[in-house]
């Protein structure tokens, strides 16, 4: 097997991770943590989301976080944005990249953003247009690509249809979400073989939640399909509050460990990453699920 020499890991812990944590992290601790992440060699950090605070109370301090962090040159600081109202706030904070999001399944989309897919698309189109006009890059997320908590199986034709609509809005990259961690390697291979007939691998990222422990295996299969961009959350934080049973993203530190061992370059310093993981673990007061933290015998505190 010929592996790529380099991959890009996108840290989504401050957004996808913290959005679902029961413990509310103080704004200054979020800022301190993101500043630590900025010194690990990561080149992309999704710092927060500008959604309705009643829907995601844990990220109600989005503006204070986005304005309070140190911006290290060479790192792209992104944020999730659902609509024009969120975009106005994101632009006021001068984030580098705006991530728009939608689901491939109707029920999850409605539970998550209170609209049907066809109602959501024009909203996202306007957000993307305005963000691009403001000089920002736009990333797209497509959720429930491998299964929906409400509808079960999701058709790959539907995934391709919604993905095409997002690319048509001018997104630079599309992140395909296994929102509830139901994917298996054979399925990932099958789905990617179809998707990559329509879109280039360089513009596709994979976003695996590790609910059933399949994420690293799924990343490996994606790698074999030519994918080199993966989302992850430090320590395996998080989940999706509108996807019952969803647990955290694959742990960034586990992915870095795997790639380091395989000789694939990530540019990320594992020791600094673990120090940042220890910091957020101590603030949350619960043991995070990552294997590398566990192997390092980390205690909470």
Closest distance to ligand HMG from the beta carbon of 69 (Å): 20
Q: Which stretch binds Mg ion (CB under 5 A): 16-24, 191-199, 267-275, 276-284?
A: 16-24
Binding flag, residue 11, Mg ion (CB under 5 A): no
Q: Which stretch binds ligand HMG (CB under 6 A): 33-41, 78-86, 255-263, 273-281?
A: 78-86
Binding flag, residue 55, ligand HMG (CB under 6 A): yes
Compose the 108-127 pattern: x for residues touching ligand HMG by CB under 6 A, - for all others. Answer: ----xxx-------------
- Which contacts (CB < 8 Å, 24+ apart) does range 95-99 have? 95/47, 95/66, 95/136, 96/136, 96/137, 97/136, 97/137, 97/138, 97/139, 98/127, 98/128, 98/131, 98/136, 98/137, 98/138, 98/139, 99/46, 99/138, 99/139, 99/140, 99/141, 99/175
Residue 14, token pair as written in the block: 């401050």
Compose the 198-227 pattern: x for residues touching ligand HMG by CB under 6 A, - for all others. Answer: ---------x-x------------------
Tell which one of 52, 71, 110, 272 touches ligand HMG (CB under 6 A): 52
Tell which one of 7, 11, 16, 58 touches Mg ion (CB under 5 A): 16
Binding flag, residue 179, ligand HMG (CB under 6 A): yes
Annotation says 240 is catalytic: yes
Binding flag, residue 252, ligand HMG (CB under 6 A): no
Residue 103, token pair as written in the block: 């689901």
Output the residue with the shortest Cβ distance to ligand HMG.
177
Output the residue with the shortest Cβ distance to Mg ion.
16
The entry of ligand HMG, Mg ion, none that residue 84 binds, CB within 5 to 8 Å by partner kind: none
Binding flag, residue 143, ligand HMG (CB under 6 A): yes
What are the beta bridge partners of residue 76?
A: 44
* Contact residues for 88 (Cβ-Cβ < 8 A; gap 6+): none
* Beta carbons of 204 and 196 less than 8 angstroms apart: yes
By C-beta, is 16 or 61 nearer to Mg ion?
16
Binding flag, residue 210, Mg ion (CB under 5 A): no
| Residue of 24, 148, 240, 294 marked catalytic | 240
By C-beta, is 134 or 295 nearer to ligand HMG?
134
Tell which one of 17, 78, 177, 248 touches ligand HMG (CB under 6 A): 177
* Contact residues for 144 (Cβ-Cβ < 8 A; gap 6+): 103, 104, 105, 108, 151, 154, 177, 179, 180, 243
Looking up tokens 């999704």 gives: 46
Which of positions 225-244 make contact with Mg ion (CB under 5 A)?
none
Closest distance to ligand HMG from the beta carbon of 197 (Å): 22
Residues that bind Mg ion (CB under 5 A): 16
Residues that bind ligand HMG (CB under 6 A): 16, 19, 49-52, 55-56, 80, 82-83, 85-86, 101, 112-114, 141, 143, 177, 179, 207, 209, 240-242
């Amino acid at each position: 097997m010929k592996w790529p020499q380099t991959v890009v890991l996108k840290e989504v812990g401050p957004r996808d991770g913290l959005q679902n944590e029961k413990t509310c992290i103080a704004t200054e601790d979020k800022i301190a943590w993101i500043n630590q992440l900025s010194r690990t060699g990561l080149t992309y950090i999704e710092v927060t989301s500008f959604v309705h605070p009643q829907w995601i109370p844990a990220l109600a301090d989005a503006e204070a976080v986005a304005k309070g962090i140190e911006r290290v040159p060479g790192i792209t600081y992104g944020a999730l944005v659902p609509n024009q109202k969120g975009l106005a706030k994101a632009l006021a904070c001068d984030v580098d990249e705006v991530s728009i999001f939608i689901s491939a399944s109707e029920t999850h989309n409605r539970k998550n953003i209170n609209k049907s897919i066809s109602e959501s698309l024009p909203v996202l189109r306007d957000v993307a247009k305005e963000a691009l006009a403001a000089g920002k890059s736009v990333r797209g997320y497509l959720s429930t690509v491998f299964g929906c908590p409400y509808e079960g199986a999701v058709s790959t034709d539907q995934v391709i249809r919604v993905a095409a609509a997002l690319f048509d809005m001018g997104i630079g990259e599309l992140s395909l979400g296994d929102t509830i961690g139901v994917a298996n390697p054979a399925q990932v291979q099958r789905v990617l073989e179809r998707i990559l007939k329509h879109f280039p691998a360089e513009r596709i990222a994979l976003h695996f939640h590790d609910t059933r422990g399949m994420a690293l295996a799924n990343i490996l299969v994606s790698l074999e399909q030519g994918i080199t961009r993966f989302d992850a959350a430090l320590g395996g934080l998080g989940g999706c509050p509108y996807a019952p049973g969803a647990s955290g993203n694959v742990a960034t530190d586990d992915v870095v460990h795997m790639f380091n061992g395989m000789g694939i370059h990530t540019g990320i310093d594992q020791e600094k990453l673990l120090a940042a993981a220890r910091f957020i673990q101590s603030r949350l007061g619960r043991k995070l699920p990552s294997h590398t933290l566990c192997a390092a015998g980390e205690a909470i505190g």
